[in-house]
Amino acid sequence: MLLPVIMAGGSGSRLWPLSRQLNPKQFLALTDAQLSMLQSTIRRLDDLEAGLPLLICNEQHRFLAAEQLRQLGMEQTSILLEPVGRNTAPAIALAALQATQDGDDPVLLVLAADHLIQDVDAFHSSIRAAMPFAMDGKLVTFGIVPMHPETGYGYLEKGTSLGEGGFAVSRFVEKPSLNIAKEYLASGDYFWNSGMFLFRASRYLDELERYQPAILAACKNALVAGTQDMHFIRVDAAAFAACPEDSVDYAVMEKTDDAVMVPLDAGWSDIGSWTALWEASNKDADGNVFKGDVLGHATRNSFVHADSRLVATLGVEDLVIVETKDAVLVAHKNQVQDVKKLVERIKADNRHEHLNHREVYRPWGEYDAIDSGHRYQVKRITVQPGAKLSVQMHHHRAEHWVVVSGTAKVTNGDKTYLVTENQSTYIPVGQVHALENPGVIPLELIEVQSGSYLGEDDIVRFEDQYGRV
């Protein structure tokens, strides 16, 4: 059996301000107007003979992941939650251990959730070419046929031909200088390291035990001591935090004697920067990529994204301009690899723009922080039909709710009542309360908070149907 394992961790900080820590690039619709990167990754598996994927993501992204799977009609998909990031070798170990719990030994197709593959047929062909090697106990990595000398990727040097489209891996190479990358391209013997793999679960575990037994032991302990909640598989946080951090390349692939490379020429990109996204997008006659409400004049070879308002450009070239409701990035295309440094500066300054957008998604719906000032904050809240916020209280703030549309079922202390369109209610400081949408249409309301402290951590939960602490 072929089991896709989709790794959806990471923060995608080089794509700030669209990608945020709590809503990173794999959950954004960057290369497809309708589907997120994660959803596109799942959809390109449609014509393969494979089981339901196993998704690996960070604990704090679990509801984002579950909602995007629900939108695809894949609610039965298991989601393995990492309490902390420990790189790809432990993540794949958890997946392999989970896959072999019942005595099965599937072939794992390990994919990143945030890659672009434009030629799906070619992608499937490379997987089918790789299957006999994986069935024979080899550990397959997919080498991307390079289009240009690239200094941002690691490389694979192909060795002896093994027939049927496979090659022994001669060596793994770190990111080269431009001159060396040009030599690699000219030789035809070097391929970009895609970070995608195909191997039997047992073979990966065998090689991990041989080369990094501490990782395997920690992952076994974390999984055995973990719990399952609906389709969420939670590993033990303390056991997994004790796991050494390492990539699958360093831990296994560069050490094993059974590494095989299968070339992949399928319009691949890891969309690792704004320039990479510009390169992968359709452009107008002037080389521009405009998304949203953009008005450009005498503008060339630029990427402009407008989220919430008109962005106008005049007489500029080779720029990246990204507007969101709470931040604007203006960068030269040659400098976009350093966007991560801006994010680090935002963190160092104790700002919040690296964490989340003004619009924040929750398992019950979403809210938009419309305005804030001294001792007040205004939010527009949307609660999906049948959803309910936790039973909670606040030590420092009172809340006034005004229903815009739909019907709210409000618990306010020892009273429960309905609030309909154009009606309002008041929740005093320290009052135990809850909000529920009993109707069949989304509930929209305006919440006005007032008090000495308005942070999201001033929530004491007494009951929550989504398992949040």
Domains of the chain: 2-269 (3.90.550.10), 274-345 (no CATH), 359-463 (2.60.120.10)
First to last CA, the chain: 37
For position 469, what pLDDT does the model report? 67
Say if residue 124's pLDDT is above 70: yes
* Secondary structure tally for the chain: helices H, strands E: 11, 30
DSSP character at residue 124:
H
For position 229, what pLDDT does the model report? 82
Which of 207, 295, 292, 213 lies closest to 252 in space, CA to CA? 207
DSSP reduced 3-state for 241? helix
The residues with which 157 forms a beta bridge, in sequence order, are 171, 190
Say if residue 373's pLDDT is above 70: yes
DSSP reduced 3-state for 383? strand
For position 359, what pLDDT does the model report? 87
Each residue of 235-269: pLDDT tens digit?
999 999 999 999 999 999 999 999 999 999 999 99
Round the average pLDDT of the chain to a whole number and report it: 95
DSSP reduced 3-state for 93? helix
On whether the CB atoms of residues 19 and 25 are closer than 8 A, the answer is: yes
Give the pLDDT band (50/70/90) at residue 466.
confident
Task: Decide: pTM greater than 0.75.
Answer: yes
Read out DSSP for 295-342?
EEES-BS-EEEESSS-EEEES-BSEEEEE-SS-EEEEEGGGGGGHHHH
Structure token pair of residue 321: 């301009």
Mean pLDDT of 435-449: 97
pLDDT > 90 fraction of the chain, expressed in percent and rounded? 91
On whether the CB atoms of residues 304 and 331 are closer than 8 A, the answer is: no
Mean pLDDT of 81-105: 95
Which of 10, 19, 108 lies closest to 57 in space, CA to CA? 10
DSSP reduced 3-state for 280? helix
For position 314, what pLDDT does the model report? 98
How many Cα neighbours within 13 Å face the side chain of 46?
9
